[in-house]
Structure 1
Amino acid sequence: MKFVETYGHDSGFFLDPSAYLAELPRLRGVLPPGAWAFASEPGHYDIPRADRCVKDLELAGIHPATDKSGRLVLDFAPNRFKHESGLRIGYSGVRHFSIAYHHGIDWMRVDTVLLDEILPDEEGGCIHEIALTDASITVRCQDLEAVWGSAE
């Protein structure tokens, strides 16, 4: 990620979205509409308090299209201590999708979201990067739609 900082250390994880939050106002009108709506949603980066903060969501499903439609869906289950509902992100016009596994944490049952970042892509659309506790996801697409309550 270019602006959001996430990394593990002896006592847990360091997370800092402040540089991205400073950059975010400049991305209005540059990011596709769905990507902008999700990135700028109130509470998205409010780690300790917001129900709609992505931090601690659990990766629950990856659903690529089996045709050439360019669709991809990622499902995230709620963390029972923090979220009222899960999150489903649907991507359109996907040009690239990858998961890089780090396999450095063996004490967690599932990969959970640390933070994410959405930036404009040089080829049009956007790049959505999601840092997980033991992996990272990158999606290059035309746009995305994030719906809370869809991945319980």
Structure 2
Amino acid sequence: MWYVNLDGQVGDLAGILDPARYLSHLPSISGDLPPGARAFATDTDHYGFRSRRCVKDLTLRAVRGAGGEEMEVEFQHNCWKHDQDLLIRYTGVSSLLADSADEERGTDLGTVMLDEILPHRDGCSHEIACWDGTLTIVCRDLRATWTETTCSSKS
């Protein structure tokens, strides 16, 4: 990732996820993002760690349409934090890279740490860092939709 720090430090505590640099840069690039990507990236809840619509702690559940121009990536909620699942639909996909820590897992990359959406000559790039690897998609645009779900383990 260019701006999101996945290994920040606060005092003596290391390994902190820190989107501050990206968030401070986002206003200067948001006008260069396609409309759907801009709406998702600039949503005030996107990087609010206590928000129910923060991507942190979602689990990558499925990648559909890999290799095609239209693609979907589905994320499952974490019952301790979210009450919705996230579906991202990508249009005009020109590149997909799944970089897994374990090649046998393919696109099963585990829990999301954070993501970063940047302008790209083809529209935008969306890099999603998970604990077990990274998924990077370059596309014309994307549309993120949160859908209601139920949590049976929430108490």
Which bin holds the TM-score, normalised by the shorter protein? 0.7 to 0.9
Distance 1:17 1:56 in 2: 15
Distance 2:149 2:117 in 1: 21
Shift of the 150–110 alpha-carbon distance from structure 1 to 2, 3 Å rule, reads farther
CA contact (8 A) 1:87 1:151 kept: no
Runs of 4+ in structure 1 off by over 3 angstroms are none
**Cα gap change, 1:65/1:3 in structure 2, threshold over 3 Å: closer, same or farther?**
closer
Cα drift, residue 132 of structure 1: 0.2
What whole-Å deviation, never above 9, does each CA across 1:20-63 have from its counterpart, x for those lacking one? 0000111222100000000001210011x100000000111010
8 A Cα contact 1:88 1:151, kept in partner: no
Consecutive unaligned residues in structure 2, runs of 5 or more = 103-107, 151-155
Cα distance, 1:110 vs. partner? 6.9
Query: Structure 2-normalised TM-score?
Result: 0.83
RMSD, aligned α-carbons: 2.3
**Where do 5+ consecutive residues of structure 1 fail to align?**
104-108
> Which of 109, 130, 133 is residue 132 of structure 1 equivalent to?
130
Q: Do the aligned partners of 1:75 and 1:151 also contact (CA within 8 Å) in 2?
A: no
- The question of 1:111 aligning with 2:113 is answered no
Q: Distance in 2 between matches of 1:98 and 1:43?
A: 26
Higher helix share: 2
Task: Please give the TM-score of this superposition, normalised by the length of structure 1.
Answer: 0.85
**1:116, distance to aligned residue in structure 2 (A):** 0.3
Maintained 8 Å contact 2:83/2:148: no
- For 1:144, the aligned partner's letter is L
Of the three residues 32, 36, 43, the one matched with 2:34 is 32
2:109 and 2:130 in contact (8 A); partners too: no
Instruction: Determine what percentage of the aligned residue pairs are the same residue.
Output: 43
